[in-house]
Structure formats: structure tokens, C-alpha cells
Chains A and B, each alone.
Chain A
Amino acid sequence: MKEYKTTGRIIFNIFNYTFITLVLLLCLFPLIHILALSFSSSAYTDANLVTLWPKGFTLAAYKYVIQNVKFWQSFGVTLKRLAFGVPINLILTILAAYPLSKEESAFRGRKYYMGMFLFVMIFNAGLVPNYLLIKDLKLMDTIWALVLPTGINVFNIVLMMNFFRGIPKEIEESALVDGARQHVILFRLFIPLAKPSIATITLFSFMSHWNAWMDGRIYMNNMENYPLQTYLQNVLESSDQVMLNTVNLQSLIDQMAVSGQNLRAAQLFVSIIPLLMIYPFLQKYFTTGLVMGSVKG
């Protein structure tokens, strides 16, 4: 496309770049503000003097986070949840997606199975029946309540299915001629070929487990079993006094170094860090995943 440097174009460009820059600032300011708060001492945060740069720089809030047993306990629950949840997601997704990626002629009954999976995507029993089920299965306060009901994500299955369909049929046909069984074809050929989409689904799964909070809130009675996000929600809901009472660092309170504001900010920020670390991958694979998922199935 040719660029015509007319006056109108120049004016538009100035407007456009200014506008987009403003939008960028709008996206960044809240995060920077929280970061600044977390490094500021309570004298400044409580007087609302902190904007985008820390005032009265202190690491006191982070010292609190590091020594806060409850924070790390919930962090541990989340790690456990990821360690079980992500592999469960992956295995179930692949096991469902591979047969479903075949034609009806190769896998009789495919359309009925597909229907059963798709129906789950658009119809939800609701909160209470799910809660009663977990209660009746005696899964309350166990890690299984967090990783089993979330084991299947139909969107991921459709994504994976579309990817399997993109693999040339000749590969499967030649393996069949050589006498390979379907499970061998899946594990020896399709899974190695599907690495990029498995990476995508791993990230999807990681994200949803990392950000989940509701199941922790309703299925966990004991606060020790809260995953990180549920714990954070609890922190955000509780009053400053309640939170300060849980601080073991009396000396920090005496020095007026920590208060509700910078403690909350520091905990929020620490829980964002793992996401920021994998963010380049997230961005890359989420975009390709979105495009892949929209390929007609």
C-alpha cells in the first residue's frame, strides 16, 4: 500500500498515535500504581500521596509477604493444583480429541459422543447441584475438588480436534498399512506432531487453574486449603485491622512501615509475577490458539 503524505494524513497520524499512547497509559497506570504502592511506606500510602513512583521506598510489605505463612500455604495449594490439574486436562483433552477428530466412517458413533461433549459446553447445571455433588462425593476440602470437575474443557477439545484434523491423512494411512494400532498412531505420531497445540492447551489450562477462585471458595471450608486467588480475595475483603492482626512482624507495624494498602498491593503484585514471566508465551500461543480454534471443525 502506498502512503500519501497529505496534510490530512499527517493530522490523522498525530491524532492516532496520541490516542493509542493514551490508551496504553490507561492500561499501564493502574498496574504501575499498584507496584508503586507496594514499595511505598504506609505513611505515604495512607495519606494518598503515591501515584506512579514509590514514596518513602521500603521493602517492608514484601518482607511481610515473604514471612506470611498463609500466603505461601495458598501458593502451595495453587502449585499442587497446577501439578495435578494441568496433566489431567492434557490427558483428557487428547483422549477425547483424537477419536473425535476422525470421520464418522472411521469411528462409528462419533457424532453422538461429540453431541454429548458439546452439550456440556452450552448447558450448565448451576452452582448448587455442582456443590451438592462435590459434597456427596466427599471431595470437600480435598485437592480433587479443584482438579477433577475442571478436568474437561470442551473448548480445548475442539481446538485439539481441529489441530489433529490438520495433520495430513497420509501419515495415518501409511501407519495403518504398516499394521499400527490407533493408540500407537496417537502416541508415536500424532502427539509428537501436535506439540505446538499441546503447548497452547497447556497454557490455557495453566491460566484457568492459576486464575480460578470460585471453586476454592465454595469447596474449601478450611482456609488452609484455599488456592492463591481465593486467599487473595479473602485478603481484599477483610478489613485492614484483621489483616494487620495476622502480621507476625510487630516491629514493622510499630515503625508504621506497613498498612492495609501496601500489604494488599504487594500480595497482588507477587501473585501477578508468575503470569508476567510466562506472558510472552501466553501472548504468542493465545493468539495462535484463537486463530486455530476458529478454523472450521
Chain B
Amino acid sequence: MNKKRKLNSNQLIFHLMVWIPLLFIIIFNYIPMITGFSVAFKDYKPGFGIIDSPWVGLKHFQKIFSTADTIRALRNTLIIAVMKIIANLIIPVVFALLLNEVRIKWFKRFTQTITYLPYFLSWIILAGILTNILKTDGGLVNRFIEALGFEPIFFLGSNDTFRGTLVVTDVWKNFGYNTIVYLAALTGIDPTLYEAAAIDGAGRWKQTIHVTLPGISMFIVLMTILSVGNVLNAGFDQVFNLYNVSVYETGDIIDTLVYRLGIQQQQYSFSTAVGLFKSVVSLILIAGSNYCADKFAGYRVF
């Protein structure tokens, strides 16, 4: 009897504890979801308020697929995100493999320290640095290119190079940090496997192909599957701070469009609809990719 009462009072304490943070997400996450769903199906006018604005059904969602800007943003988002996913997968793996071959401890640690650094800087800071070193008239990079005898490149101002610049700078910011997972996986490989392979006459290259890569393939598959949930995330912070009107054609993504429509042009309902469309598709993709990660790699995120 006494034991049961205590159990109940402890249960009560748990409920009380969890409700404090829960209230926060109800107010700041769930309520916006509800208002979001209604705003997207209404013609929201700030003067009317959400409740009194008229319902318009799917009008704004139909507009998504009949407006050139949104279609362009969708296309750009997919292209940029897929390019980034591929680059952010291959380069960290290769770099982790190369770094794993380094036997001088301090050099390895120094390399990690330096390559992680850009990860911790905001895109505001990095955009400030990048716009400076990538500018056409005398930016550090273009000075180098001109010294080699080539024409300067319009990295951030031309539709030919903007996406490439986004991908390269994104890799530059994140590759060091992304190698952590693979380096951890590499240290987890059983050293006796290498010894066995060496006894069988496998050289370093063969060992890499037959021991190292299979040893981390699980992680590679897993990271690939999980990154699918990100195909509609082309990186708002980065694009917003690097793009300009002249590269909207190749660089305007869903998130930047939502910002301009919603905050600058105050087309609240249309902007909400575009954002909601993105969130719903992302949700389906994340749920699907996590299901696949569980099924094929035996990994449960949640």
C-alpha cells in the first residue's frame, strides 16, 4: 500500500516536470502549426485576424504549382540540396580515410582542430568573409586566378557559378565536422582484420578496399539514407546571406522565397502555404528515410 502511494507520487512528479517544457512546445510549436494550417487555407488579412479571415480552400496550394517563382524555387532547392548531399558525403569519407593514414599524432590533432573551426562560425561571419575573398575586383581568390592568367570568375553574381559556389563553401564549412563520424567508425574496425589481410598478402590499398571500406560502409549507407530527409533543405542561412537578385534564377530556394513572400511582401497566406507544403513533404521524407534506416541498417534514430 505504502509502496504504491509512493510510486504514484513519483509519477505525479514526472508529469509535473515534463509539463513545463511541454507547455513551451505547445505554445511555440503546436499553436503555430494550428494557426499555420488555418492561415494557409484562408485569405489572411492582418486587420481581420485569423478567425475572421475568409476560407479559400486549396487556392494557395494550387498557386504553388502555377507560379513560376515557386516552381523555380522548388527546382533550385532540389538541385542544390542533392549536390550538397553528395558532396558532403564523399568528401568527408575521403578525408577521413586520408587522415586515418596519418601516423603523426600531433599533426592529426592539429588538422582536426583547424578543419572543425569553420563549422562553429555562423553563416553571417562566413558570408562576410566569402563575399570579400570571392569578389570580382581584387578578391583574394580572383587575384590568384588572374595571377594564373585566367579571367576573373563572378562566383556570387553569375548564374553559371552560384550553385557551385554554394556547394563548395558548404563543404568548406562542414567537411571537418562531418569527418568525426567516419573517424570514429574507422577506429572501431578490429585491427586483427588488417593483420589477417596483411598475412594474406594484401597491401595497404587492398586493405582499404577490403577491410576499411566494408568496415564503415554501414555508416555511409546510414548517412545517405538519413540525408534524404534534407532534400528540401538547401541551407537557408547560407543562401540568404550569399545570394542577390541576379542569381535568383539558380539560387532562390523555398526558404528564401518563403521569407521574401511572408516577411517582405506580407503575402502571409501564400507564404505559409509554401512553407507548409515544404514541411509536409519533409516530414514524409524523414519518416520514410528513418524507416529505411531502421530496416536496412538496423538504426533507430527515435
Contacts and interface: CB of A to CB of B under 8 A. Distances in A.
A220 interface: no
Interface stretch (A53-61, A79-87, A146-154, A191-199): A146-154
Given A12-B204, A26-B172, A264 B132 contact: yes
**DSSP majority for the A interface?**
helix
Interface stretch (A65-73, A130-138, A248-256): A130-138
B14 A107 contact: yes
A20 B98 contact: yes
A58 B129 CA distance: 20
Contacts of B15: 99, 109
A211 interface: yes
Interface in A249-297: 261, 264-265, 268, 271-272, 275, 279, 282-283, 286-287, 290-291, 294, 296-297
A287 B187 CA distance: 14
B117 A279 contact: yes
Nearest to A157: B21
Given A120-B25, A126-B272, A271-B125, A183 B17 contact: yes
B122 interface: yes
A125 B279 contact: yes
A27 B22 contact: no
Contacts of A183: 13, 17
B35 A233 contact: no
A98 B17 contact: yes
Interface string B236-264: 11000100000000000001001100110
Interface string A141-182: 000000011011000010000000000000000001001011
A2 B25 CA distance: 54
Nearest to B35: A129
A148 B24 CA distance: 8
A186 B122 CA distance: 35
A189 interface: no
B286 interface: yes
Contact of B263 (A127, A151, A268, A286): A127
B152 to A, nearest CB: 12
Contacts of A214: 236-237
Interface in A66-112: 92-93, 95-96, 98-100, 102, 106-109
A239 interface: no
A248 B32 CA distance: 43
A214 B140 CA distance: 29
B132 A17 contact: no
A64 interface: no
B302 to A, nearest CB: 5
Given A16-B101, A152-B21, A129 B272 contact: yes
B130 A30 contact: yes
Contacts of B140: 29-30, 33, 51
A48 interface: yes
B127 A236 contact: yes
B133 interface: yes
B29 A272 contact: no
A33 B133 contact: yes
A218 B204 CA distance: 54
Interface string B124-160: 1101111111000111100100000000000000000
Interface string B149-191: 0000000000000000000000010001100110010000001
Contact of B279 (A2, A126, A283): A126
A214 B258 CA distance: 13
B287 A211 contact: no
Interface of B: 6, 9-11, 13-15, 17-18, 20-22, 24-25, 27-33, 35-36, 39, 50, 95, 98-99, 101-103, 107, 110-118, 120-122, 124-125, 127-133, 137-140, 143, 172, 176-177, 180-181, 184, 191, 194-195, 198, 203-204, 229, 236-237, 241, 255, 258-259, 262-263, 268, 271-272, 275-276, 278-279, 282-283, 286-287, 300, 302
25 contacts: A9-B204, A16-B102, A19-B98, A27-B118, A29-B140, A33-B140, A100-B18, A106-B10, A123-B279, A124-B279, A125-B36, A127-B258, A128-B39, A129-B39, A130-B28, A148-B24, A152-B29, A157-B21, A183-B13, A232-B125, A236-B241, A283-B112, A283-B116, A287-B180, A290-B180
Interface of A: 1-4, 6, 8-9, 12-13, 16-17, 19-20, 23-24, 26-31, 33-34, 37, 47-48, 51, 92-93, 95-96, 98-100, 102, 106-109, 113, 116-118, 120, 122-133, 148-149, 151-152, 157, 176, 179, 181-183, 186, 207, 210-214, 218, 229, 232-233, 236, 261, 264-265, 268, 271-272, 275, 279, 282-283, 286-287, 290-291, 294, 296-297
